[in-house]
Every structure is written in C-alpha cells, then in structure tokens.
Chain A
Amino acid sequence: MPMFTHKQWRRLSPHLDEALDMSEVERSRWLSVLRRENPFLVNQLEALLGEHEALAREGFLEKESLALRGALGLAGQSLGAYTLISQIGQGGMGTVWLAERNDGRFERRVAVKLLNISLLGNSFEQRFRREGNILGRLSHPHIAQLLDAGVSQTGQPYLVLDYVEGLHIDRYCDRQALPVSVRIRLFLDVLGAIAKAHANLIVHRDLKPSNILVRHDGQVKLLDFGIAKLLEAEGTAEEASTLTIDGVRAMTPEFAAPEQLKSEPVTTATDIYALGVLLYVLLTGQHPAGPGPHTPADLVKSIVDEELTMPSDIVARMKPSEKFTVKNARVRSTTPDKLSRLLRGDLDTIVAKALKKDPHERYASVTAMADDLRRYLRNEPISARPDTLVYRTAKFVRRNRGSVVLATIAIAAVLGGIAGTIVQTQKARAQRDFAMRLLTRAEAINDLDDFLLADAAPSGKALTPSELLARAEHIVDRQQNANETNRAEMLTSIGHKYVGKDEDAKAQEILAKAYALSRRSSDPSARAQASCTLGAALAHSDIKRAEALIHEGLAELPNEPSYTFDRISCLLSGSSVANESGDLQEAIARSQAAVGALATSPLRSDTTDLRVQIALAESYRVAGRYREAISAFERASALMTTLGRDDTETAGTLFNNWALALHASGRPLDAEKLFRRAITISSAGNSDQDVSPMLMVNYARTERQLGHLNEASDYAERGYSKALASGNQVVVNQALLMRARIFREQNDLSRSRAMLAEVKPRLQKALPAGHIAFAVLAYEESNLACAHRDFPAALQSINQALAITDGSIAASRGGEDFRPLLLITRAEIKHKLGRVDDAARDADMGVNELQRLVEAGSYSSDLGHAYYTFGLTLLAQGKSPQARVAFRSAVENLQNTLGADHPETRSARHLAEL
C-alpha cells in the first residue's frame, strides 16, 4: 500500500468525504457513474474504502482513550457477588460493564456501573450505600431495577442494575416510523414510571433518551434513577470546580432545566421539564434550541433565557427541500406539512406548559401531564391553556430586564468559565465594529433574499432566478424608507447577479441606478462596490468607461484592513475589465493583487478564497497561460467541493471557464464533460431559460470540434438568439463566428457567408482595430474561400489573420495560442497551391509552436491536427519515413483527445500504416 503524497491526498480527500457519507447502495451507484469519468480515481477510492471497512472491523484506533485502557484490565474481576465480563459503555459518569452473578444463585446478567469518582472518607461511603438502598426499593415494570450499590476493595463505587438490551427511545420511534399518536402512548409509559418514582420522593434528575430504552418487545425501561443525586454534594471545596464540570456532564445540558443551570433546588418539576424536552424531541425530531450542535453557552442561553419555539413552528421552519425534513416527517409516518398541522394547538400547549422556565408554572405533577396527553388522544379539551399575546409580551419584557445578568451568572457559575468571553482589546474592538458593518450589510441583503424566497413559496410555484431577480428589483425600488447606502448596496448586489448571468442590458440598467444612488452616500464601501460592479457590467460595451469606473472605485477605498474585502471585489472586477480590454498583464496583476490582499486579510474565508482563485484562473486563461489556468481551476474546484457548492451558479461559471481552458489546450473531450455539468446546473427541469448564452456558444464550439455538427449548430443558434435578446454583444459576435464555421462544415456556404457578413460590421463597431477578433474573422473568411476552392483568396485572408495576430502578440494582447493554428491552415492552403516546401515549413513551425504550448506528457487535438498536416506536406515532399513518424504522433494525440473513432484519427492511423 503506497503512502499518499500531499497532492494525492488533496485530490482524494473530497471524494472520500462524499463516499463516506453514502449508504452502500448509493456509493456503488455513485462509483459506477464516476468510473465512466475517471476509472483511475475510482480504483484508488475503492481500495481506500476497502481499507476503511477493514479498519472499522478491526477497530483501528478505536479504543476510546488511553485512559480507558486502565479499565480494560478489569475484565474477569469480581465486585461483590458479580464478575465483570466486558465493557459495554462509557459515559461522563464512568464505565458500564456487562457482568454476571458469581455465586451461582441466579443465571442473571446485570449491568455494573463503575462510577468515575473517588471516595473521600467514610461518610460519603455510608451515604452512598444508604441512597443505594432507597433506590433499590424502587420497583416498577418500566424501571430498570437497581440491584446493588457498593464500593470495591480499591475504593471504587459501583452500582449493579438490571441489564437492559434495547434502543434509545427516540431512535426506537424513528426506526419503527411510529406516528405521533403511538409516540405519545409510549411516552405515557415513561410518565407512569416517573410518577411511581416521584411518589417515592425519588427524582431522576437526568432524563434523556439514552436513559430511556425500549426493548425489542416494545417495553420501555428507565435507567439510572437518582444516580445524578448520588454523585452530587460530595467532596471538598478544592474539588468543587472539577466536579461542577462533571456534574454538568452528568446532567446533560441538553435536557437540563433552568433551575439546574442556576443551581436552584431540584424538585419533581425538574423531571417534568426534561420530559417536556423529550416529548419535544419525539414529536419534532429537533431540540427546542433548534438544530444542533449546541455549545454549552448557547444551550444555557436558550434554556434560561429564550422564548420557546413552538413544536409546530420549528417543524414548519425546516426547509421543505432538505432530505432531513422529509425523512423527519417520514419516520413519523407523515409529511412535513401534516406534521406541523398536527402539532399546532394542543400538543404545542402541552409541551409549552412542561417547558415553562418557572418550575411553578409547569404541570403540578407527572400525572397531570399524562392526563392532558390522554385527553388529547381522546380528542377531549385539555387542561393547559395557551399563552395569550399579552401574557407573552409581559413575560418577555420581564425576562429581558435581568436576562444579561442572569445568563452571565448561569454561565460563570455552572460552567466555571468555559464559555467566558475574552476581554476586548482595542484592536478587537475595531475588528468587531468592522464585523458589525459587514453584518449589517449582509443582513440587509439576506433579508431581501429571505423576503423573496418566503414570498415566492406560498404561490406553490418555484420561481426561476430571472423572475426572482425581477421581483427583487421591484421590491428595492419601493423601499423608499431604506437609507441610500443600503439601497445602493442591495441594487448593486442584484445587478451583480445579472452580470453573473450575462444579462448585460439588465445589469447595466440596475447598476447605473445603484451607482447614481451611491453618489449620495458617503460610505466608501458602498461607493466603491457600486462603481466597480458597474465597471464590470460595462466591460463588454464601453471599455473606457469601465476602466475609469474601476480606477474610481479603487481610489475610493481607504487603505485599511477593514476595506480589504471591498478592495478584493474591486480588483476582481478590475481583472475582468482588463481581460476584456485586452490588457492581459494588468488582468493577471489585478487578480494576483487580490490573492495578496486576501492572504493578509484577518477574515479570510473559503468563499472569498474561491472567488479569488477563480479570477486568477480566469486571467491566466485569457492570457493563454492554460497550464497555470487549469491548475488554478483545479484548486478552485476543490474548494468548491469543500464548500459543498458543486451545484451552484458559481460552480457553473467555474466549469464553463475551466472547460474553455481545456478546450483551448486541445482537450475537447474533457471540456465537453465540464460544459455539460455547467449546463445541467443552470437548467431548471427541461428549460434552458437560465442557461447563459455564452455557455451555449462555448458548448457548441466543443461539439463542433468533436464533429457533432448538429448538436453544435443547435446550441450555437440558441446561444445567438438568447444573446441577442439579452444584449450581450460579445456572445452575439462569437455565436455568429461559430455559426459561420458550422454552416461551412455542413457545406451550407451561403449561410456561412451571411453570418460573416453580419458579424463584420458589429466587430468593427465594438472593437479597436487590430483586436484579435479580426484575426478570427479573417481566418473564417480564409476557410470559406478554401471551401469555395478559391485558394489565392484564402491565402490572402490567412496572411491578414497572421499579421493581426503577430501585432497582437507584439502588443502583449494575446494570440500565442492562435498563431500555430493559422500557420497550419496556411500550410494546408499552400499545399493546395502546390507550394509544397513552403507548406512544409509552415507546418513545421506550427508543430514547434504548439509543442511549446502543450504541457509535456499531455495530448492536444490541435497538436494532433498539426502533425497530421505536417505529415501530409512531408508526404508531398516525398519524405515518407519522416511523414510516418509525424502521422504516428498525430494518431497518438488525436485518439487521446478526439477519440479513436474520430474521422481524422482514423485517417491519420491509416496514413501511419502505409
């Protein structure tokens, strides 16, 4: 078994996360899908998953802690009349062992609890035995009997209890998919057992699902009655701080009543509170404090301080789209909606009554609570009354008056400082203010999103993103009372979303409004964001203004760490603007500056990291530095997976751009896969309403190269119409060039010519002379001339294309990757014109330049095509051995990029074998 390099592990790690989260069935299905994409990866994963299972079987590193090893040695030892067999559990209180009687009087298996405390003197030992005797007399069919309590020769206190095999009550209910009414009946058994204990003046103090088991025959058994009390009030002052923590652990904060946290007297009402929490969990599947996990401080706050969220509300609030919500309802044999309706009313009222903060306001007895539940089951009116609004408001005011003090005392006293806050230094205060500012902004925007989504839900129809954005704009427009800074920020945020969807006209309109508003604000961040985002939106249509806006935005921002994020945003917008203007060095410089700013930012996050990586990758890609681009895209994609955002719009953009880089490095098959993923992400159902036109045209380009002309033609046309409608000139132009090429290859030369005629004036209007786009136009004109067999005209056009490209390269505006393609085309034309030696020279040059661009050890379809052409010219020169070598290189490159069945691959193979 080889060890991992860091690189290998990073690649495997996200896949392992995914795989380990699946059931076996899901996993094998997932692996077989993945295998088609990447069989090598799947082999590796399978080996690791096999090891994972072996490790789980052998329990590798599983012995909980080294401290436990001391106890392991106890197997076979005797405690009183019992011999320990094996350890079956461990908790805050100590370890639990399966044991049997060693005097042969009964064949009975018991559970022995070795308590994790040491004894301090005879008085405690006596008290321990006395309490144990009282508990031992408590006998009820639903209570696991305490059989014995004693102290071992080495001073270890232990308890001997009925051994119960079963599931925690909540798991049992879920496993059996018990509906609410059956859950209540089972819960009534629990109440019966506790009523009996309370009648004997025994309070449980630690009721929680793991202490309430349901055996396989459906019998409820309560464990650990009164044990929390046994552990209490021992020791000296010195011991107190440690034991307080163990005390909290023993009582399980999730199920603790407010009085337990405030160190007030524990009574039967304390158990009623815990029962309320248990009922809450059984009914809703959630803890009253909301979805966990909870820190001790959160729990204390929620238990002591916060108003209860009604069971029906907590269920209604769960996102209906989430698997958990559906499953949660399914294990109650119902649907999320019905569950919420079922709980609303009486069950809400009963639970709320048990969960009153003030013990005196709870049910007076367990029996009273049981009575109400029985009445509910019989559809009779219950005794508890729901709180009125006036009552709730009064309570709220009263509670909040002392709440801060209360929470502080509770935390400090009970948790002994675990949740204590740090003293703020001046620096920390500045950071906090900054965080507050971010928070306020985020809240305004979140609020808007919430409103939109909540508003959209009741209509019962899912809105598409475009519809949502249209609504958002409308809402912000009407919010005249929001302040200008906020409105500018909200509009900027919406406009930004339109930019992401390549709907330029819309984006410009909104962002112009945002920009105008922001001029009335003095907030540097709002001003800079509005100006940079507008700049980004204008990049395609008014490059000069765009560049000016970026400069203006960057100048707006004070050079302080608290504006780092705004600076990063502006730099990223600036990078995309520079990409458009053709200043590729500046584009890379800006995204590298963003990387630098992020590295020193105090609030670095994966999400920002991701944005910056994407921008960096993109600027490398536009500059034709594909190798660097592809590795930056890989990094970004890994981050995306870590963030669980593989299905988001950002992921769609990432896949699109990454695919472009792959396509450009001659890997159309790899590109095709990513384009498809990108399209799938933005297609809602069967509609392509939200698929970006740019993405469609890109996909068409790759399909064309793979020889799928019909698919290519279809997507190019749809991309064209969409881009025309949304006003994205760049995409319109690209689509026209693409369609010209596809029509030509489909032998529809007149339509091909029409496309070129349409695009030419558009390019002349939008772009400066000498732009690389004119080289592409000339290249298409040359190809069209070739198709008409007008080789002299073709040569003239291709020379023109080469001249423009060389000019662009000389001005560092890119074209290095395009030049070899032009050279190869010129070689073909010269070949047709019978200028064989000239042709061979061009082909040779083309091959050389391409080799420099293609990463060593990887394949390129362009390089394959270049070798193919080079081979043909060599053949024409009569150099057949050299030609064969060239054809063999062509085959190697073509079959690894276009596939073994592609016509060009087959023809190259044929020629290589001549």
Chain B
Amino acid sequence: MGSTVSSFIGTTGCNNNSATDALFSTLYSELHRLARRQLARRLAPSTLSVTTLLHEAYLDMSARESAIFPDEARFMGYAARVMRGLIIDNARSRSASKRGGEFEITSLDGDVFENPVNANELSSISDALDQLAEIEPELAQIVDLKFFCGFSFGEIAALQNLSERTVQRKWEKARIYLRRTLDKGFAPTSKI
C-alpha cells in the first residue's frame, strides 16, 4: 500500500500527482468555505464541530464528485488529512497576526486558553504523521480522524468497518510511533 492519498486515488485510475494536488486544493477550499459559512451563521462564537463540518462537506462533495469518492469512509480518510492542513494553517495564521485569522475553527484564543495551541507543535505532529502514513497509512488516518477531527473510536470503527478495540489499538500504536518521532525532531513545549 502506498500513502493514504495514492491508495484511494489508485482506485479511480488517475494515479498522478497533479490529480492529487487538484483534489487536495478543491477539498481544502470546500472545507474553508463551509467553515466560514457555519461561523457566519452563529450568533455567538461557540465551538464548531469539525466532525459536523466534514459530514457537511461530504454531502456537498458527493453530490458533485461521486465518482471520486465512492464511499464515506474513503472520503473521511482523505478529508481528515486535508482538515489537518486547514487546522494547522489556521493556527499558523493566528500566531502570525494574533487576531488576523479569517475564521476560527475553534475559539483558539490565547485569552481563553491557558495553553494556546502551538502551530509549530501541530506541524511537527503533522510531519511525523506523514512519515507514519508512508509505512502504515491506516494508523495515520486514525490519528487524523481522532485527534484533528474529533471522531470517537466508535465512529471511526463504524466508518472503517473495524471493531472499536482494533481502532483503539491502532491509535495506541500510532501514538508510540509519533512520540518517538517527535522527540527526535522537535521537543514539544507542552502536552497536546
């Protein structure tokens, strides 16, 4: 098996990078648009559930691009990876301009948190995840779904047609891998 991306692109028979890039940016802007729309509708700045966002994105996308995403599981697997990018970019733009971010995926606000999310930390986790995806793509996908997108073990299990126990075990394994990889590359300043 290749990386997460190629393993699903492969099934559609368009195994080349430009197709992958196009898909990534389409999905990225789609998620971006949905997040803004969601937040615009809210009267008070409450949290925005990434899970809900992804479900909505799937509805929108599957209506248009059913050929690319034959099922929800594959969509979520891929979208979770895109979502990760979106979250990190968001955190990064916030740390650059304090309050200049275009939208808030969460109320990532230094005033509310004792422990603001460190964009560097997130992106080193992301790098480690990409490495993991090269060896065991399904482990990386579970981390994307759980950590970045807030799916529960049960939801991931139903999505991927695995037992909940298996999902948890894969998650535990991924965590071991990530910690080692992170400790090597970047010492996290705080727990995530």
In the complex, what residue of chain A is closest to B162 when comparing beta carbons? A293
* CA A478 to CA B152, docked complex, whole Å: 52
Q: Which residues of B contact A9 (CB under 8 A)?
A: 135-136, 177
Q: Contacting A70 at CB < 8 Å: which of B41, B47, B157, B192?
A: B47
Contact of A70 with B173 in the complex, beta carbons under 8 Å: no
Q: CA A116 – CA B150 in complex, angstroms? A: 14
- Asked whether A382 is an interface residue with its Cβ less than 8 Å from the other chain, the reply is no
Complex contacts, B178 vs chain A, CB 8 Å: 61
User: Which of B157, B179, B184 touches A55 (beta carbons < 8 Å)?
Assistant: B179
User: Is the pair A68, B47 in contact by a Cβ cutoff of 8 Å?
Assistant: yes
**Is A59 an interface position by the 8 A CB rule?**
yes
Does B14 touch A at the CB level, under 8 Å? no
Q: Which residues of B contact A241 (CB under 8 A)?
A: 56, 59
| Nearest CB of chain B from residue A637's CB, rounded to whole Å | 17
A293 pairs with B164, CB closer than 8 A: yes
A293 in complex: contacting residue of B47, B105, B151, B158, CB < 8 Å: B158
Enumerate chain A residues within 8 angstroms of B164, measured Cβ to Cβ. Answer: 293
Cα A13 to Cα B51 in complex, Å, equals 29
List of A residues within 8 angstroms of B184 by Cβ: 1-3
A16 close to chain B: CB less than 8 A: yes
- Contact A21–B169 (Cβ < 8 Å): yes
Q: Which residue of chain A is the closest to B181 with respect to CB atoms?
A: A3
Q: Are B72 and A418 closer than 8 Å at their CB atoms?
A: yes
Closest Cβ–Cβ distance, residue B187 to chain A (whole Å): 12
Q: Which single member of B55, B108, B149 contacts A65 (CB below 8 Å)?
A: B149
* One of B107, B109, B180 near A51 (C-beta < 8 A): B180
Q: Report chain A residues within 8 Å CB of B102.
A: none
- Residue A71 interfacial (CB < 8 Å): yes
Measured between C-beta atoms, what is the minimum distance from B139 to chain A in Å?
9
- Indicate if A405 sits at the interface (CB-CB under 8 A): no
Does A58 lie within 8 Å of B59, measured CB to CB?
Answer: no
**Contact, CB under 8 Å: A66 / B105:** yes
Interface residues in A13-34 (C-beta closer than 8 Å to B):
13, 16-17, 20-21
Chief secondary structure at chain A's binding surface:
loop
Is the Cβ of B59 less than 8 Å from the Cβ of A4?
no
Q: Are B150 and A118 in contact (CB under 8 A)?
A: no
Docked-complex contact B43 and A118, CB < 8 angstroms: yes
CB-CB under 8 A for A70 and B191, given A3-B180, A3-B184, A51-B176 = no
Residues of chain B within 8 A (CB-CB) of A21 are: 165, 169
Docked CA distance A849–B168 (Å): 52
Known: A55-B175, A69-B108. A1 touches B180 (CB 8 A): yes
Contact A16 B108 (CB under 8 A): no
Across-interface contacts of B183 in A (CB, < 8 A)? 1
Contact yes or no, B191 A52, CB < 8 A: no
Whole-angstrom CA separation of A72 from B154 in the bound complex: 22
Tell whether B112 is near chain A: CB-to-CB under 8 Å: yes
Q: Given known contacts A61-B143, A67-B48, is B172 in contact with A20 (CB within 8 Å)?
A: yes
Check B62 against A420 for contact (C-beta < 8 Å).
yes
The one of A61, A242, A294 that contacts B175, using a Cβ cutoff of 8 Å: A61
| Interface range on chain A (Cβ under 8 Å from partner) | 35 or more
- In the assembled complex, B17 has its CB within 8 A of some CB on chain A: no
Within 8 A of B (CB), among A53-83: 55-56, 58-61, 63-73
**How far apart are the CA atoms of A174 and B46 in the complex, in Å?**
39
Interface 1/0s, chain A 259-301, versus B by CB < 8 A? 0000000000000000000000000000000001111100000
Q: Encode contact with A along B92-114: 1 for CB under 8 Å, 0 otherwise.
A: 00000000000001111100110
- In the complex, are the beta carbons of A66 and B56 less than 8 A apart? no
Would you call A419 an interface residue if the criterion is a C-beta within 8 Å of the partner chain's C-beta atoms? yes
Q: Is A6 an interface residue (CB 8 A)?
A: yes
8 A Cβ contacts from B1-54 to A: 41-52
Chain A residues with Cβ under 8 A from B125's Cβ? 61
Question: Is A154 part of the contact surface with B, judged by Cβ < 8 Å?
Answer: yes
Given contacts A67-B47, A73-B113, A119-B43, contact A60 B177 (CB under 8 A): no
Taken together as a complex, chains A and B put the C-alpha atoms of A607 and B176 apart, in Å, by 28
Task: Using A72-B113, A118-B41 as known contacts, say yes or no to A63 and B192 having CB atoms under 8 A apart.
Answer: yes
CA distance A187 to B112 in the complex (A): 45
A-B pair count, CB < 8 Å, reads 163
Interface size on B, residues (CB 8 A): 67
CB neighbours of B107 from chain A (8 A) = 70, 73
In the complex the two chains form, is B59's CB within 8 Å of A6's CB? no
Q: What A residues does B149 contact at CB under 8 A?
A: 65
With both chains docked as a complex, state the minimum distance between the C-beta of A546 and any C-beta of chain B, in angstroms: 36
State which residues 400-432 of A face B: CB under 8 Å.
Answer: 416-420, 422-423, 425
Interface residue B189 (Cβ < 8 Å from any Cβ of A): no
Chain B residue numbers with a CB within 8 Å of A464 are none
Residues of A within 8 A of B161 (CB): 293, 295
Q: Is A156 an interface residue (CB 8 A)?
A: yes
Rounded to whole angstroms, the CA-CA distance of A423 and B48 in the bound complex is 33
**Residues of chain A with a CB closer than 8 A to B43's CB:** 118-119, 155
**B148: Cβ under 8 A from any A Cβ:** yes
What B residues does A246 contact at CB under 8 A? 52
Whether B55 pairs with A418 at a CB distance below 8 angstroms is: yes
A10 within 8 A of B: yes
B interface footprint on A435-457 (CB within 8 Å = 1, 0 otherwise): 00000000000000000000000
Task: State in angstroms the CA–CA spacing of A807 and B41 once bound together.
Answer: 85
Collect the chain B residues with CB atoms within 8 Å of residue A72's CB: 113
Is B87 in contact with chain A by the CB < 8 A criterion? yes
User: What's the Cα separation between A420 and B48 when bound, in Å?
Assistant: 26
B13: nearest residue on chain A (CB-CB)? A427
Is A48 on the interface with B (CB-CB < 8 A)?
yes
Cβ contacts under 8 Å, A418 to chain B: 55, 58-59, 72
In the assembled complex, the CB of A712 is this many whole angstroms from the nearest CB of chain B, namely: 42
B118 nearest CB across to chain A (Å)? 12
Q: Give Cα A157–Cα B51 distance, bound, in whole angstroms.
A: 20
> Given contacts A155-B43, A293-B158, A295-B158, is CB(A65)–CB(B147) below 8 Å?
yes
Q: Is the CB of A242 within 8 A of B108?
A: no
Cross-chain contact A242 with B56 (CB below 8 angstroms): yes
Contact A65 B135 (CB under 8 A): no
Q: Assess the B157–A423 pair: CB atoms within 8 A.
A: no
Contact A4 B169 (CB under 8 A): no
B146 pairs with A64, CB closer than 8 A:
yes
User: In the bound complex, do residue B176 and residue A17 qualify as a contact, i.e. CB atoms below 8 Å apart?
Assistant: no
Chain B residues near A48 (CB-CB < 8 A):
176
Q: How far is the CA of A672 from the CA of B113 in the complex (A)?
A: 61
A897 and B159 alpha carbons, distance in the complex (Å): 49
Report the minimal beta-carbon distance from B175 to chain A, rounded to whole angstroms: 5
**Is residue A809 contacting chain B, with contact meaning CB distance below 8 A?**
no
Which residue of the partner chain B has the closest CB to A74? B112
Q: Does A468 contact B (CB under 8 A)?
A: no
* A20 touching B169, Cβ below 8 Å: yes
Given contacts A65-B150, A420-B62, contact A16 B50 (CB under 8 A): no
Q: How far is the CB of A281 from chain B (nearest CB, A)?
A: 15
Q: Are B51 and A65 closer than 8 Å at their CB atoms?
A: yes
CA gap between A61 and B113 in the complex, in Å:
17
Given A6-B135, A118-B44, A422-B67, are A69 and B113 also a contact pair (CB < 8 Å)?
Answer: yes
- Indicate if A177 sits at the interface (CB-CB under 8 A): no
B176 touches A67 (CB 8 A): no
Residues 116-143 of chain B: 1 if any A CB is under 8 Å from the residue's CB, otherwise 0? 0100000001000000001110000001
Q: How far is the CB of A853 from chain B (nearest CB, A)?
A: 32
Task: Assess whether A245 is interfacial by the CB under 8 Å rule.
Answer: yes
Measured in the bound complex, the distance between the Cα atoms of B161 and A3 in whole Å is 31
A629 smallest CB distance to B (angstroms): 24
A55 → B minimal CB distance (Å): 5
Alpha-carbon gap, A116 to B48, bound state (A):
9
Cα of A52 to Cα of B170 in the assembled complex, Å: 12
Q: A67-B47, A420-B62 are in contact. List 16 more A-B contacts (CB 8 A).
A: A3-B184, A21-B165, A60-B191, A61-B192, A65-B150, A66-B117, A66-B147, A66-B148, A67-B49, A118-B43, A154-B45, A155-B43, A242-B52, A292-B157, A293-B158, A422-B71
The 9 listed contacts between A and B (C-beta, < 8 Å) are A9-B177, A61-B178, A65-B49, A65-B150, A66-B106, A66-B117, A67-B49, A118-B46, A155-B44
Give 6 nearest A-B pairs by CB, closest first: A65-B150, A73-B112, A70-B47, A70-B107, A155-B44, A3-B184
